[in-house]
Amino acid sequence: MHFLEAQNISYKINDRNILSSITFDIGFGELVKISGRNGSGKTTLLKIIIGLTKQTKGSLTRKSEEKICFLGHKSGLKNYLTVRENLLIQGLKIDSLNLGLLEKFNLKRHIDNSVGTLSFGQQKKLSLIRILNAKERIIILDEPFVGLDEESKNILREFMDSIRKENRTLIFTSHIDLEDNYREIKIDD
């Protein structure tokens, strides 16, 4: 079943076309990669899908009222809080699951450090831990592999595979050519 249908989606700012006549549908249980060069409109398309931006032409129909979990370029982390506090304010427990994820991402030793002291890559990993806990059936990630080391990229790939097995949907943008089984929506500029 498709939960999302896009017909001839276009987006224009002033006289510049960002997106032109993009048509696709997405169902539950799919991994969907949105690809294109820098500036081709990948992030804009994600914002249209989640409702932060309105397309200038075309129609977007969501056939499900499912909540969407979104991680954009900005992490949403509070730099003045510790790693632990950032997990707690998200409603997450410091349990064996999250301690295991912190360990996997080499962040456990930083649990009581403020997020502002972490590198970009470490902050990205912490943001992903918050996403790995998401219960929503639809997860959207903007450039999730940026700033990650190879080990962390592999953890993210494992997560992507588990999403599909749970009949949940993951939509993501990336410049990385993954060997995983996903459907690709290419945006040409």
Residue type, 16: R
Q: Domain residues of the chain, as ranges?
A: 1-67+136-189, 77-133
For the chain, give the percent of residues with pLDDT over 70: 98
111 pLDDT more than 90: yes
Q: What pLDDT shows up at residue 134? A: 80
Residue 171: what pLDDT?
A: 95
Average pLDDT of the residues in 122-134: 88
Residue 110: the pLDDT is 97
pLDDT tens column, 2-60: 889 999 999 999 989 999 999 999 999 999 999 988 888 999 999 999 999 999 999 99
In the chain, which ranges are E strands?
2-13, 16-27, 31-35, 57-62, 68-71, 138-141, 169-173, 183-186
> Largest alpha-carbon pair distance within the chain?
53
Q: Decide yes or no: CATH 3.40.50.300 for domain 1-67+136-189.
A: yes
> What is the rounded average pLDDT for all residues in the chain?
90
pLDDT at 12: 94
